[in-house]
Amino acid sequence: MTMPPAASPLPHDASWQERSVLPADHGLPVLADVDVVVVGGGAAGVAAAVVCAEQGLDVVLVEQYGFAGGAAVAGMSGTICGMYLAGDHAAPQQVVHGFTERFRVALHDRGGLTPPQRYGRTWASAHDPVVWREAADDLLERAGVRVIFHASVVAAILDGDRHLGVAIESKAGRTAVHARRTIDASGDAAVVARAGGRYRYGDGGRIQNPTMFFRLGGVDTDAFWAEFGDDTISPPAVSQAIVAARATGADLPRDKIWIFATTRPGELMVNATRLTAADGRMLNVVDPEDFTIAEVRGRRQVRAYADFLRGAVAGCADAFVVDTGVEAGIRQTRSIEAVEMLTNDDVVACRKRSDGIVRSPWPIELHDGAAPKLHWLIDDWYDVPYLSLVPEAGEDIIVAGRCLGAEHEALASARVTAQCFEYGNAAALATVRSLRGDVPYRAIRGEDVRADLVASGSSI
């Protein structure tokens, strides 16, 4: 496999070429010629597309599934994390607003969001994935975004180092979307990689484990919460019972599991699995074979954890698996080499900066190894620099979402849903500045994007 210079390889050999570029005279039928193409309809992509369209730009959003939501819906990650301070607070203290708050309200008003639930030393709210899709549909439609579901990007269209749009593939064939600006909200830096841009995989190629979320129905939730406690992170007695069951051969690799109430009666959302290859090898879900292994092994682990909960935890005796994610939950794949990287030290030191465009109070939540590791940011947050969204090379492209330029531990904090909404918000407002001023993304001052975000209601 041929990789961009200095990129980290996949964990084992792959047989395809990532770089895929077409020239301006590509010869494909042109499906649309617009101001902005947004690739990916997760939290970052929805925010980016809606905000760009509301600013009067012509926008096409391309999404591989038949719905918006990305990891939050297809991966069933299920919570809006990153809104609240960590600390010994009796009630949640929200410090992230902007598009995040706008979407939170849209979910809440449709009955699709729980109140904040205790997660260790912070809080998170669980959402209904069906309502998430509906809220996104309404926002996109009202803003006038042209949405193309069931299509995947197969090539970047370039003139030298300038991005002119993307080629997409669907059951109808291959077509082109021409655009003056590209927002790569794929989560995997798919457009940057196709264009040959540099990126990294975590810490020298080591990335966070994927997982498989599931929903458990038929639960006596009163009995369950009375035993489990009011923290969504498993209490010691449950973790000890998992260790004992594993000693008898049960496929329960994680001791610390996280269980949330949902908006539906008698139902829980469970984050318990840890997915590796049979030999313990790390899985990189950019590789479709690894992705397949993650999903097959994930569904098996779901059954194992459901069996454990039925036999060992109060309220679960009659429980059943309602559903798993459409895909394995992806925490990390490619991170771009950005003009400026968000560093591990930035996060640990809770660094504030004048060019920061997103604040994050979320802990470093690192799923890399035998057990999740949490480093709390108590009563504080850090700012993510604007230029971490701008690739070090290439013109007329910006990223939004978990593929921002970040070091390994930093990404374990910066990748969560509330921040992804705000990355999309920031990328959109930078795009407006880039188009209206006819200036490159890297020439835009982060301070100016920050001011635009504050004016639109973001907390930063």
The identity of residue 150, as a single letter, is H
pLDDT exceeds 80 at position 372: no
In the chain, what are the domain boundaries? 21-205+333-455, 214-324
Q: Cβ neighbours of residue 236 under 8 Å, at least 6 residues apart?
A: none
Distance CA 54, CA 448 (A): 19
The identity of residue 339, as a single letter, is V
Radius of gyration of the chain from Cα atoms?
21
Class of domain 21-205+333-455: alpha beta
Residue 371 C-alpha from the chain's centroid: 21
pLDDT tier, 206 (very low <50, low <70, confident <90, very high otherwise): confident
pLDDT exceeds 70 at position 195: yes
Kindly report the pTM of this predicted structure: 0.95
For residue 233, CA distances in Å to 18, 52, 159, 217 come to: 39, 38, 50, 19
Q: Cβ neighbours of residue 247 under 8 Å, at least 6 residues apart?
A: none
Distance CA 178, CA 6 (A): 30
- pLDDT tens column, 39-98: 999 999 999 999 999 999 999 999 999 999 999 999 998 999 999 999 999 999 999 999
By DSSP bridging, strand 117-119 and strand 122-126 are antiparallel
pLDDT tier, 10 (very low <50, low <70, confident <90, very high otherwise): very low
- pLDDT tens column, 383-427: 999 999 999 999 999 999 999 999 999 999 999 999 999 999 999
The identity of residue 30, as a single letter, is V
- pLDDT tens column, 267-313: 999 999 999 999 999 999 999 999 999 999 999 999 999 999 999 99
Residue 306 near residue 213, CB atoms below 8 Å: no
| 224 SS3 class | helix
The residue length of the chain stands at: 460
Q: What is the mean pLDDT of residues 195-219?
A: 94
Residue 211's DSSP bridge partners are 329
Residue 323's DSSP bridge partners are 215
- Give which of 35, 62, 58 is closest to 46, Cα–Cα: 62
pLDDT exceeds 90 at position 17: no
Which two structure tokens, joined as six digits, stand for 443? 């020439």
* pLDDT confidence of residue 1: 32
pLDDT exceeds 50 at position 4: no
Residue 442 near residue 395, CB atoms below 8 Å: no
CA torsion sign for 133, 136, 138, 140 is negative
Which two structure tokens, joined as six digits, stand for 99? 């598009």
Q: What is the mean pLDDT of residues 354-364?
A: 97
